[in-house]
Structure 1
Amino acid sequence: MTRILEFIVAAVIVFALAVIIGVALPSSGHIERSVDISHNTRHIGDMLSNYRRYADWGVVRMLDNKAQFALEGPDFGKGAKVVWTSTKPNPGNGSYEVTEKDGDKSIVWKVDNLWNGTNKHYTITLEPQKNGRITKVTWAYDVDYGWDLIARYSGLYINGDPATQIQLHLASLQQQMAAIPNVDYTTTEIFVADVQGQPQLVVPTQAPRSLDEVAAATDTAMKEIAAVMKIQKINPAGPRHTTTVEWGDENYVFDVGQPVDSANLKIDGKDYVIGPAMPQAVQTAEESEAAAPLPGNMDRKGNLVVTDKVVARTGYNGKALVTTWVGSPAGLPLMRLSLKAYAMAMGYRFNENANRYFDVMLTDPATVADDEQQFKVYLPILDNAVANEPAAAPPAPAAPPAPAAAGGQH
């Protein structure tokens, strides 16, 4: 009996000590880790303010490659949320939600997972370094334990799993950002547009990477298209399109396209309808070496062959990122890179090999100086995002006729 009493007393003392120590432990926890990333704060802030691609780079996928993800709330900024489910105890089920965003300075993620405590959140601070080309990213974790003594004891291990996950997040974020073109798009207005496909006559061409050479190749292509339009008795239905096929070190490979007002063509006495290009899935060696297809047939890219130089297809139809460029055509490659960087940072999916960049010339080079040309530049995307491109401004009303001068000729 004495031994039992001794055991009970010892247990009470141990419990009392545990309570006293627990009360003395901190009621909150904080840890942080930092890394330098060679991108500006806008790129990184955009990446961390949406979860479109979180399943590709986030730590949850590293812990369980079979975890399932779902997005909730708005696509970007405050309220954006990713929810995951996992059969593994780590990471378990949980979610992250953007609860605060202070411009390009900081983002706060609410953390809902199996870790002990309440008011759990990440605060990610972005500090520009070295003329803004490098950003110091500080990823902090904060938690409140309150009077939950078990949670307070768990705070002794805050440098375990929470710190490990922060470090993994930072390392993966650094890798993701390395794949994004380091182009500053902060002053570029980029929107999501609904692009309506139009029947087009197209000339594939190429030229050395010189403005004069590209302009000459474009003019030659437009003459070929004009000749076909005259024969087919169809008319232009909008400005010229230029689709980038390959921006090489020395040569620029591109398609010159002219939307037309009719999809009906007559080739060698037979009627054809212009439709979307349907590339061949697999091409044999014999097909690759075969002679160019005759008019009325499909080429290897699925275009309808009209003449030996001109093909026909329906232009891109779907969602696209779009921006406007005013200036010399020499600035267009930078605009394409800006669209790519924006798409990757914002998590939009795209395939630049299947649906290529294209630009639409809005001004007439015959009447507008080269450095005042206006273009719309597009990058097709796969996401069904809500279009937010502002409507085109209505044309200005015609000026009233000037009154006849007194005593003028009648």
Structure 2
Amino acid sequence: MTRLLEILISLAIVAVLFTVVGFILPSSRHLEHSVETNRKMPIVFDTLNSVRRFKDWNPSVAGDPNIKLNLSGPESGVGAKISWDSEEKALGQGSWTISKSEPGKLIAYAIEDVDRGHDKSSEFTFTPTGKGGRNIQITQAYDVNYGMNLLGRYSGLYVTSNIGEKMKLGLASLSNMLATIPNLDYTVLGKDDPALAPKLADRAGENLLVLNAAVPLNQITIQTQMKTNIEWIKKNIAANGLEAVGPVRIITNEYGSSIYSFDVAQQVRKAGTDATVKLEGLKLANNVELLYNEPGKTAVVAFKGHMSNLQNVRDALRAWAMTRGYETIDRPYEAWKNGIDPGFAPGQEGEYDVVWAIK
């Protein structure tokens, strides 16, 4: 009986100590970690202002190849949400939802997950750093409130080693991911007219007559070859009872230091028929080939200027698409809306739609 009484007294003392220490422990926790990147501010901000690339850097959804992810809300900004459902106990069910977004300054997420605590949030702030402010310091803060939950307060003792290590891992992954994006400020593309900013578009199925070329990186040579290829394509159009649809396209294969490899392409259809009907049985000459593009999605931006600027525009459009979680596929191309010559002539401006297929 005495032994039992001693055990009960010991348990009571432990319970009292547990309670007292629990009340002494902080009812909330705050963590911060930072990483630096040389990517431009729009790239950094837009990547985190959307949840489409969340799975590529955030360890909150790592560790279960069978995890179910769901995106909801707007494409970006406040309300954009990623939810997950996993049979792994460490992941369970949860979500991150953008609750605050201030361009170039901060992005805040409201967090629901299996970890103890409530009012969980993570805020990212952006600070120009380095010489001339060329780099961006990304600081991630994590906050959690345990209230009167004593078990939660005790779990807060390990938040630095658990959540803190996840934050470090996530920021390192984010930095590595950002490094794969072309470092170009695509916001300049729509600076003067927002209607000319990059956008997503659907592309219907289409038939193209295509003729390849690879020439020295000389503008006169390139211009001459483009016009020559156009003439050969026109002859094949006439010989097969076809008609051109839209402006001529230039598809870039490789823009090297000394050689430019490209295809001249023209969308075509049988005269008087639907342009999406797949063509077959054409009799083509002079190395002209028939290519059919399946319907798909594209990233598009309008541009006016000299053709020598197109490579930067292609890369900027690719950066824009990547920050929004889209992968560019196939080869980029431009629709030369006012013909070939204005794109090369001094004092004139070519007019283009620059296009990347995406998935």
TM-score calculated relative to the size of structure 2: 0.88
Residue type matched to 2:351 in 1? Q
Residue type matched to 1:83 in 2? S
Richer in helix (by share)? 2
Q: Distance in 1 between matches of 2:279 and 2:62?
A: 40
1:380 equivalent in structure 2: 357
Q: Distance in 2 between matches of 1:90 and 1:161?
A: 12
Aligned to 1:307, what secondary structure does the other structure show?
A: coil
Per-residue CA deviations over 1:298-352 (Å, capped at 9, x if unaligned) read: xxxxxx660023223345632110011111000111111011111211101332x
Instruction: Kindly state the Cα deviation for residue 135 of structure 1 after the two structures are TM-superposed.
Output: 0.9
Q: Which moved more, 1:188-197 or 1:324-333?
A: 188-197
Q: Distance in 2 between matches of 1:203 and 1:251?
A: 17
1:147 equivalent in structure 2: 148
Alignment counterpart, residue 361 of structure 1, candidates 325, 332, 336 = 336
Q: Which moved more, 1:127-136 or 1:225-234?
A: 225-234
Larger radius of gyration: 1
1:97 equivalent in structure 2: 97
Alignment counterpart, residue 350 of structure 1, candidates 328, 332, 336 = 328
Q: How many residues align?
A: 347
Q: Which moved more, 1:141-150 or 1:61-70?
A: 61-70
Q: Which moved more, 1:71-80 or 1:166-175?
A: 71-80
Q: Distance in 2 between matches of 1:160 and 1:305?
A: 69
- Unaligned ranges ≥5, structure 1: 266-272, 278-295, 297-303, 383-410
Q: How does 1:203-218 map to 2 (within 5 A)?
A: 203-218=211-226
Instruction: Kindly state the Cα deviation for residue 52 of structure 1 after the two structures are TM-superposed.
Output: 2.1
Instruction: Kindly state the Cα deviation for residue 365 of structure 1 after the two structures are TM-superposed.
Output: 4.6
1:337 equivalent in structure 2: 315
Q: Distance in 1 between matches of 2:35 and 2:148?
A: 34
Contact 1:128/1:135, CA 8 A, preserved across alignment: yes
Instruction: Kindly state the Cα deviation for residue 380 of structure 1 after the two structures are TM-superposed.
Output: 0.8
TM-score calculated relative to the size of structure 1: 0.77
Q: Distance in 2 between matches of 1:26 and 1:276?
A: 71
Q: Distance in 1 between matches of 2:66 and 2:279?
A: 37
Richer in strand (by share)? 2
Aligned to 2:11, what secondary structure does the other structure show?
A: helix
Query: What RMSD over aligned residues (CA atoms) do the two structures have, in Å?
Result: 2.5
Instruction: Kindly state the Cα deviation for residue 356 of structure 1 after the two structures are TM-superposed.
Output: 1.7
Residue type matched to 2:210 in 1? V
Q: Which moved more, 1:33-42 or 1:242-251?
A: 242-251
Instruction: Kindly state the Cα deviation for residue 242 of structure 1 after the two structures are TM-superposed.
Output: 0.9
Q: Find out whether 1:254 has 2:232 as its counterpart.
A: no
Q: 1:241 to 1:145 in 2, by over 3 A?
A: same
Q: Distance in 1 between matches of 2:279 and 2:8?
A: 83
- Unaligned ranges ≥5, structure 2: 190-196
Per-residue CA deviations over 1:118-147 (Å, capped at 9, x if unaligned) read: 100111111122334311011111011111
Q: 1:17 to 1:225 in 2, by over 3 A?
A: same
Q: Which moved more, 1:359-368 or 1:216-225?
A: 359-368
Instruction: Kindly state the Cα deviation for residue 11 of structure 1 after the two structures are TM-superposed.
Output: 3.1
Q: 1:316 to 1:337 in 2, by over 3 A?
A: farther
Q: Which moved more, 1:210-219 or 1:188-197?
A: 188-197
